[in-house]
Amino acid sequence: MALSSATPSVRAPAVAGTFYPAPARTLQHDVDDLLERAASLKGFSSVYGLVSPHAGYVYSGFTAAHAYKVIRGRKFDAVVVVGPSHQEYFQGVSVYPGESYRTPLGVVPINRELRERMVCDEKRIFLSAAGHRGEHSVEVQLPFLQRVLGEFSFVPVVMGDQTLELCENLSVAITSAVQGQSVLLVASSDLSHYHPYNEAMSLDQRVIELVDSFDPTRLMERLDHRELEACGGGPIVTVMLAARKLGANSARVVHYCNSGDVTGEKDAVVGYLSAIISKESSDLPPRVN
């Protein structure tokens, strides 16, 4: 697909200097520091996916670092990052049609072959800059991936709507596309928004329980009924469904906090979790709070 004049080949950073530092040296230092301070969690052998928050690093970076530290130094053929759209509304799933995303740490190439296989048969999954132009949910994952994986290629995916049917369709497209490859799936999501601290803790604990029980269908049902909150619930459900199809049998939340834990302001907080989706036959380490 040829790029339109409105679609740059290299997607420039949209939130450098706000969600994370713009100077490369500062960003590298901050990400490395978060990774070093995160707990070293053992017991995860075959990792298929992870869930990571997408707020500013000062709020959710430490939580994200717990999941990313688990995969530091591992090798994957490619990465698929699935995030929600905060800036634009559209129906379906948008996959960026350009050549790469750029962060202050360098350019991350898009895996064109994997991208083409993902969009070839499903009409609701399409090449478009919609949802990517000013969106942070995919972008903020990249500096962590750059520091833990080094060089890698990826497919940036943004969900315009988040129905269970669309999650199932996207999970099938992903699993069909990645057959025979070792591909890391990343779901970008925060949890409840702007509730008092104790109420947020209660809401978020229910999400944690459903992630830990590896129950994406029940999670989406409860999100649809507004019993729970997660702005990237669709990406979480999609990645869990796809990882299960690929062989995962376990999901484990490895860290949780909310913005009140960081700022001390507890009247209206935002929740964050990170999780590892893997294939395991033994007990996994406990969550670190």
230 has pLDDT over 70: yes
Mean pLDDT of 83-105: 96
Domain, as residue range, for 97: 26-279
CATH number at residue 196: 3.40.830.10
Q: Which amino acid is at 260?
A: G
Element (H, E) at 198: helix 197-212
d(C-alpha 240, C-alpha 235), whole Å: 8
> Is 287 within a domain?
no
Mean local confidence (pLDDT), 14-39: 98
Q: Is residue 258 helix, strand or coil? A: strand
Question: Does residue 70 form part of some domain?
Answer: yes
Residue 102 located in a structural domain: yes
* Strand (E) or helix (H) holding 213: none
Q: How many helices (H) and strands (E) does the chain have?
A: 9, 12
Count: domains in the chain: 1
Residue 122 forms part of a structural domain: yes
Whether 132 is covered by a domain: the verdict is yes
157 within 8 A of 95, measured Cβ to Cβ: yes
Instruction: Indicate whether 286 belongs to any domain.
Output: no
pTM score of the predicted model = 0.94
Residue 6 pLDDT grade (very low, low, confident, very high; cuts 50, 70, 90):
low
Per-residue model confidence as pLDDT tens digits over 241-251: 999 999 999 99
Q: Would the pLDDT of 2 be above 60?
A: no
Predicted confidence (pLDDT) per residue in 182-201, tens digit: 999 999 999 999 999 999 99
Residue 10: inside a domain: no
251 DSSP β-pair partners: 277
Instruction: Kindly state whether residue 212 falls inside one of the protein's structural domains.
Output: yes
